[in-house]
Amino acid sequence: MMSFVVSTLLSLSFAATTPVQSKEEIKFISKTDNKLLDTFKTDAYIGTIGRIDEKAHDLSLVDLYAFKDNGKISMNENLCKDYLKQVYGPLDKITLKVKYITVYKSHTGNTCEAQADDPDQKSSIPERRIIIGFLNAKPYAIEFNLAKKSTPDVQENIRKFWDSLR
Amino acid sequence: MKSKLCIYIFVGLGFINSAFAADICAKNGKDLALLKDSFPRFFQSQTEIHFARSETPVAYLSVTVSPDKIAGEAKYKIPIFGIKQEKGYATSLCYNKDNGELKIELDNGKEFKVKLINDNPPDATVTIKGYEMTRKPAEYNKAMAILNSTSSSSSSSSGGSSDNNNNGGAQ
């Protein structure tokens, strides 16, 4: 009985620290749990989600960003660029090449997807893929750091993960 | 009158001195090559500088210097999920010899500081966010063994093979 109470309390406290929920089994590692994690990240980065059942290593770690609520709840390309700037810096000045910014309809409404390529041919992360949208009316982004250029299957996997978020 | 002038000169020199003690900055490898004597010794003869820590949080950090770019890379060991990799491009690398602080400004607007603890080859040691990272060969190899063994089971392991040969000490 006591162990049930303790485990319930523990799971509740874990849930409280997880900013988003997923239909998949996930674990969240906050940047406050490992202070080195955000060394290269902007302030919008809040932590990394681990997808328990995902076999591909690239797709099993997802960086999570939360943006300040500016009252806007409908995604469009300009708003997407604002959020991309909060993740990557000024898009016309940075080394990464952000491209293919598209707005599509997901389960949460208008959602933005983009790709950031590293021009360094030997880069360990040649491509980053990001999806930005609203979860519970709050703006979030999920970002995947890929060790190889993405295939249509990988891109689909990423969109499916966004669709699993609540 | 003369003593007042002396005081003014003395104070003025103090200001000039403190101005010169400010950060020395390099935007790329070309700048760094010109200013190398003003930067820590581990920058002086290398284009890729590695640091690592073998205690939790196990991590690896490298700075790669090319003529037109300075890039930083990191690997972290995350419980359950293995290795997480990061990469960022710097717009400037500034060093303050007086307080031993390296300031790395990334092109995404983020800035992080590296505090120099020991600049003696091959034992150079720094702290990042309070965590000690080192080039001490034994510690470095221990950390790389942990990181490489974890990443060898994942599909994205890369970029670590040359690190084991580095031994962290070549200056």
* Residue of A88, A123, A145 lying closest to B108 (CB–CB): A88
**Beta-carbon contacts of residue A44 (< 8 Å; ≥ 6 apart):** A65, A66, A67, A83, A86, A87, A141
Q: Which residue has the tokens 């800035």?
A: B111
Q: Which residue has the tokens 């300040």?
A: A68
Which pLDDT band, with edges at 50, 70 and 90, does B162 fall under? Answer: very low
In angstroms, the separation between the Cα of residue B12 and the nearest Cα of chain A is: 39
Q: Name the DSSP letter for residue B58.
A: P
> So what's the pLDDT on residue B1?
53
The reply to whether residue A35 touches residue B131, judged by beta carbons under 8 angstroms, is yes
Please list every residue in chain B whose beta carbon sits closer than 8 Å to the beta carbon of residue A29: 78, 81
- The span from the CA of B107 to the CA of B90, in Å, is 6
Please list every residue in chain A whose beta carbon sits closer than 8 Å to the beta carbon of residue B87: 40, 118, 123-125
- The span from the CA of B18 to the CA of B95, in Å, is 14
Q: Which residue has the tokens 């720094």?
A: B126
The reply to whether residue B87 touches residue A118, judged by beta carbons under 8 angstroms, is yes
> So what's the pLDDT on residue B2?
59
**Beta-carbon contacts of residue B82 (< 8 Å; ≥ 6 apart):** A57, B150, B151, B153, B154
Give the least confident one: A110-114, A118-122, A157-161, B7-11: B7-11
What average pLDDT score do residues B122-131 get?
A: 94
**Phi first, then psi: what are they for A16, rounded to 5°?**
-65, -30
The beta-strand segments (E) located in chain A are 26-30, 45-51, 61-66, 97-106, 109-117, 127-135, 138-146
Tell me the residue type at A8: T
Please list every residue in chain B whose beta carbon sits closer than 8 Å to the beta carbon of residue A96: 89
**Beta-carbon contacts of residue A154 (< 8 Å; ≥ 6 apart):** A56, A58, A59, A129, A146
Q: Can you read off the two tokens belonging to residue A92? A: 């016309």
Question: Mean pLDDT, chain B, as a whole number?
Answer: 81
> So what's the pLDDT on residue B5?
52
Instruction: Write out pLDDT tens, residues A127-151.
Output: 999 999 999 999 999 999 999 999 9
The answer to whether A150 faces chain B, any CB pair under 8 Å, is no
The answer to whether A124 faces chain B, any CB pair under 8 Å, is yes
What average pLDDT score do residues A1-27 get?
A: 63
Instruction: Write out pLDDT tens, residues A68-83.
Output: 988 888 999 999 999 9
pLDDT(A109) > 90: yes
What average pLDDT score do residues B46-68 get?
A: 93
Q: Can you read off the two tokens belonging to residue A133? A: 């949208």
- The span from the CA of A51 to the CA of A157, in Å, is 12
**Beta-carbon contacts of residue B31 (< 8 Å; ≥ 6 apart):** B25
pLDDT(A163) > 60: yes
The answer to whether A6 faces chain B, any CB pair under 8 Å, is no
For chain B, how many residues are written?
171
The interface residues of chain B toward chain A in range 7-46, judged by CB-CB distance below 8 A, are none
Strand ranges across the sheet with A45-51 = A26-30, A45-51, A61-66, A138-146, A127-135, A109-117, A97-106
Instruction: Write out pLDDT tens, residues B76-109.
Output: 999 888 999 999 999 999 999 999 999 999 999 9
pLDDT(B27) > 80: yes
Please list every residue in chain A whose beta carbon sits closer than 8 Å to the beta carbon of residue B150: none
The answer to whether B47 faces chain A, any CB pair under 8 Å, is no
The interface residues of chain A toward chain B in range 57-86, judged by CB-CB distance below 8 A, are 57-58, 60-61
